[in-house]
Structure 1
Amino acid sequence: MANKLKNLKLSPPTKEFIEHILMKKFKAIEIPLYSIHPDDYKNDDEVDESKIYKLFTITNPDILNKICNNEEKEIFEDERNDKTEIDVPRDEITNNNLIDEHNKGYRISIVLESEDGIHVSHAGVYGFSEYLTMYLVALIGLPKREMVLNNVNDRGFQFNLECLKKHNFIS
């Protein structure tokens, strides 16, 4: 399996392709990049804030239910039962509101990066969905900064293979 992938000359998918999948398959909607505070992007070692170009969010309960596993749903139940904070109206998008809704499972957000302005080079997921994270890795791959391409001993490369297999992109 690794040898097959090593021999392929894969280019990252176009921005339009990934955005279309997010909107159609996951009913994601675009929200302003500033909905997440710029310092949060800078402090997130999994994204490169200089390459970020779009932010999408998923709030559809049916989709969230499908893309969250049982363990993630249990975490959300614990967070939702913790009524230490005053609830903010869900139609207001603020940084604190996003964080709260991510933690409670009411929302998952996806930040997209592009190195060349044409292709998606990385997607960061805010919130909890192993399914969505692995699906996006299968579609996009890991950024070069996280993976030594064609090195079967590299953990990032192995994770990329696992994501491709899980989502039936390879057998």
Structure 2
Amino acid sequence: MAIADDNRDMKRRTLAALGVSAVVLGLPATTVAHAAPPGAACAPAVERALSQAPDGAVVQCTGGRWEVYPGPYPNSDRWLSDDDGLDLHGQGMRNPEMLSGPWTAIPQNPATRCRAEQTAVVSAGEVGAPQVVEGQPGQPLHFEVLPVMFSIHLTGDCLWQAN
């Protein structure tokens, strides 16, 4: 487990360095994964979306740049994930980051496949088996976030929006 965490941290640091390099070189944001380091450019399509910086901080696309999210409890109807994935909590816990209801995942490039794996509270102190939905490459994915969703793992270069 520690090796996997070390590898994930190394990959995030590498992606952050690539993201900063792309900004310095003036390359389009689509040439690098959405590591979302603060100060990096973000596309107009993801304005107001929250994501995660390589160091784990929550960031928000504001005015074309990723900025550290100012609030103590991030909650949004727009999230941006990357291939490493984004882990969020739902209404099955205190301070949910993603609320229940209908959502749509929009791939940010034609090869992307959006995937959501959520677990829900089935009784006091018990979480059920993961429920997985996955879209086709380049196609939007429509799905329901469960009312008692405990956690969700979102993957793919996708913008996730509440409907």
TM-score between both structures, scaled by the size of structure 1: 0.26
TM-score between both structures, scaled by the size of structure 2: 0.26
> Which has the larger helix fraction?
1
> Which has the larger strand fraction?
2
| Structure with higher RCO (Cα < 8 A, 6+ apart) | 1
Larger radius of gyration: 1
